[in-house]
Chain A
Amino acid sequence: MQGIKRFINQLRAKSPWLLHFDCGSCNGCDIEILACLTPVYDVERFGIIHVGNPFHADLLLTSGTVNHRNKKVLANLYSQMPSPKIVVAIGACGLSGGIFREAYNVVGGIDKVIPVDVYVPGCPPKPEAIIDGVVLGLGKLQAPQERNGERKEA
C-alpha cells in the first residue's frame, strides 16, 4: 500500500498541469511566466501542460497583489482545483503586496487568501527562478506531509 502511494506521488510530479492566474499584477511577472511556457523551454518534456481550467490543474501559478475585487476569484479558483494541489506565488507583489502594498485597495500577498506552498521573490523573477520554484513545488507534490491546505489527507 505504502509502495503504491509513493509510486502515485512520483507520477504526480511527472505530470503537473498548471494554471496561471494573474491576480492584479503589473504584467511584468506574467510576461516572465509565459516566457517559461514558450516552446523554447519546452516544458512538455516534464509533462507540464498549461491548462486554462482549475478543474484540471495541479499547480496554481499566481502573480500580483490581491485586492478586494479579485480575492473572491482567487479563492474560487483555488477551491475548484481537486487536491492534491500546490500554489506558487510569484514576484514581490504575490509575496507581500510589493510596491502596491500600501494602496487603499490592496489586501496583500496571495497567502492572505489561500495557502501558499512556494514563494518566488523578484520584481519580476527571472524565468530560471520561476522554474526553480515550480521544481520546489513538484518536490512538495511528491511528499504529502509538506503540503499546505489540503481539503483532506491524500
Chain B
Amino acid sequence: MTETAVLILCGLIAGPVVGGLVSGLDRILTARMQSRIGPPLLQPFFDVVKLLAKEPLVVNVWQAFCAYCYIAAASIALVLFFLQSDLLLIFFVQAVGAVFLVVGALSSTSPYSQIGAHRELLQILSYEPLLVLVVVGFYLETGSFKLTDIYAWPHPMLLKLPFLFIVLGYALTIKLRKSPFDLSTCHHAHQELVKGLLTDYSGPFLALTEIGHWFEVVLMLGVCTLFWATSWIGMAVLLAVTYFLEVLVDNVTSRMNWRWMLSYVWGVGLTLSLVNLIWLHQG
C-alpha cells in the first residue's frame, strides 16, 4: 500500500521536475546549435510560475475545464507508467488528454486556435497508430502488455525491435512538437499561427497545458527506456542519444504541412513497423 503511494507520488513529482529540466536543457542545446547562449536551465520553471501567478482570463469556461482535464489525464498516464501498469491503458489515457486539449482549443472561435486544433487532430491521427504498433511489437516479443513483464525481459528490446524504435522516434518528434512536425503550435510559428492550439489558453491555464506537456514528455521518454531495460547505463545512453537527435532534427528541418506529415509518417512508419512485426513473427 505504502509502496503504491510512494510510486504515485514519484510519478506526480517526476513529471514536472524532470519534464521542466529536459525542456530547459532542450532550450540551451537549441540555442548553442544556433550559436547563442540560451536561457538558464531553470527558465521553464520561471515561465510556468510566472504564468500561474498571472490574472486568469478565459475565453469560455470550457477551455479552463479542458485544461484541467488535459493535465489530469497526462499525470494519470505517467502515474500508471510508474505503477508499471498496462501499456495499452497508458496510451489510451494519454490520448484522452490530448483530445481534451484539442476540444479546449475548438471551444474558442479564434481562427488560429481552430487551425491549430485541426492540425493537432491530424497529428494525433498520425502518431496514434504508430504508438499502438510499437505496443503490439512489445506484445509479440514478450507476450504481455504489462510493463512489469516488459521491464523484466532479459534481453534489450532494441536488438529485436530496431525499426519499431525508429517508428517511436517519429511519434516522439510529433509528441514533443518538434520540426518538421511542429504544425499545431510552436514558439517559432507566430507569423502564421500566432500560437495555434494554445492561442487562447492564457495565464494559469497555459501553465497547466505546459505542465501537462512535461508529463507527456516524461512518459514518452519512459517508453523509450523500455527499449534497453536491462541496464541503467543502457537506458541513460539511449535516452541521451535519442533526445540529442530530436533536438538536432528540430534544428535542421523546417516546418512542413500536414499532407506531407500524414503521408510521410504513415508511409515510412507503417512500412517499418510491418517489416519489424513480420520479422518478429518469423523469428
Structural contact, B49 and A8, CB atoms closer than 8 A = yes
Structural contact, B199 and A8, CB atoms closer than 8 A = no
Interface size band for A: 20 to 34
Chain B binding site: helix, strand, loop or mixed by DSSP?
Answer: loop
Structural contact, B55 and A151, CB atoms closer than 8 A = yes
Size of B's binding interface in residues, CB under 8 A: 30
A52 interface residue, CB < 8 Å from B? yes
A101 interface residue, CB < 8 Å from B? no
Structural contact, A82 and B202, CB atoms closer than 8 A = yes
B281 interface residue, CB < 8 Å from A? no
Q: How many A-B contacts at CB < 8 Å in the complex? A: 77
Structural contact, B187 and A49, CB atoms closer than 8 A = yes
Determine the chain B residues whose CB is within 8 A of the CB of A15 once the complex forms: 43, 46-47, 50
B234 interface residue, CB < 8 Å from A? no
B57 interface residue, CB < 8 Å from A? yes
User: Quick one: which of A42, A52, A80 has the most chain B CB within 10 A?
Assistant: A52
Across the interface, A45 reaches (CB within 8 A) one of B34, B37, B55, B199, namely B37
Task: Report Cα–Cα, A83/B78, bound state, in Å.
Answer: 33
Stretch with Cβ within 8 A of B (4 or more), from A21-29, A53-61, A124-132: A53-61
Across the interface, B55 reaches (CB within 8 A) one of A8, A50, A152, namely A152
Determine the chain A residues whose CB is within 8 A of the CB of B34 once the complex forms: 39
Q: How far is the CB of A40 from chain B (nearest CB, A)?
A: 9
Q: How far is the CB of A5 from chain B (nearest CB, A)?
A: 9
Report B's interface with A, CB cutoff 8 A: 27, 31, 34-40, 43, 46-47, 49-50, 53-57, 187, 190-191, 194-195, 199-203, 206
